[in-house]
Structure 1
């Protein structure tokens, strides 16, 4: 009876080792997939950078359409949020150098600032277009045109006689 019991105990011990080895292996696989998640974030960031290059004509154009820039910088900022979070959680496991993390974080802050500026310019642009449309509608209805003696036609009546 003792003999059977010792065989059972050793069988359970071996099974326990295999189960703990599987747990370690699955944890390692989970961490490896986590490192792969970081590669996906970086690949998406590269793609967004290529879109920016196309938008700015390879950096030759100094002026960008604020509406397009706002959308692109919003995506870059979201990608940066995900990247900073991922790097914070996996920096040690995925062996991310401190310098890479610092540079990424600094770049992310700069992108957030530029995003705010681009989106603010896009909002101003939309407001100006809205006002211009309203003024054009008023001019068609005789609002400004009647009050200014001819509107924006380029004619202005000058009084005749002694001044």
Structure 2
């Protein structure tokens, strides 16, 4: 059987592709799985952002806000670490990383304010509970609320 010269080139190119490019394909699959992992990290981060945006604008629970911003801050740190590590393989531009760093700084500042408000709220609540406990011996005060921060209703002695 006689092999034509162009058939030899085709067989040689096929053999080259199998031997040389197969490890490169496996490496590319590894890189793409790392890039897919980044997508999962971004989705988790977006989930925390959506939970924060779902909070009421007024009268939000400061303890819950502190917790959500803590979780968002840690999610931002994971995304930023992944982006810096996989910058070259996943085609992440420098301005995208700079944007993530700026957002991470902004979230950290907001988190600090939310957690400070939560600490202040807890302190005021403890003080109000202590004041309510100390004034329970007053025979004419009635607790009309379950909220310790609500003002107590005083009944004048003449009404009794």
Report if TM-score (shorter chain) is over 0.5: yes
Instruction: Give runs of aligned pairs for residues 8-157 of structure 1, distance below 5 A.
Output: 18=19, 22-56=22-56, 61-140=57-136, 142=137, 145=138, 153=154
Q: How far did 1:122 drift?
A: 0.6
Which 4+ runs in 1 deviate beyond 6 A? none
> What displacement does 1:154 show?
7.1
Q: How far off its partner does 1:24 sit?
A: 3.5
Per the alignment, do residues 139 and 63 of structure 1 end up closer, same or farther by CA in structure 2, a change over 3 Å counting? closer
Aligned length in residues: 130
Output one character per residue of 1:108-151: Cα deviation in whole Å (capped at 9) or x when no partner.
110011111101111111111111111111111x3xx59xxx78
Aligned CA RMSD, in angstroms, stands at 2.6
C-alpha distance in 2 between matches for 1:28 and 1:130? 58
Gaps in structure 1 of 5+ consecutive residues: 1-13, 156-163
Equivalents in 2 of 1:73, 1:139: separation in Å?
37
SS state at 2:54 partner? helix
Structure with the largest fraction of helix: 1
Residue 74 of structure 1: how far off its partner (Å): 0.8
TM-score normalised over the length of structure 2: 0.70
3-state SS of paired residue (1:55): coil
Larger radius of gyration: 1
Quick one: distance in 2 between partners of 1:29 and 1:100? 24
Shift of 1:45: 1.6
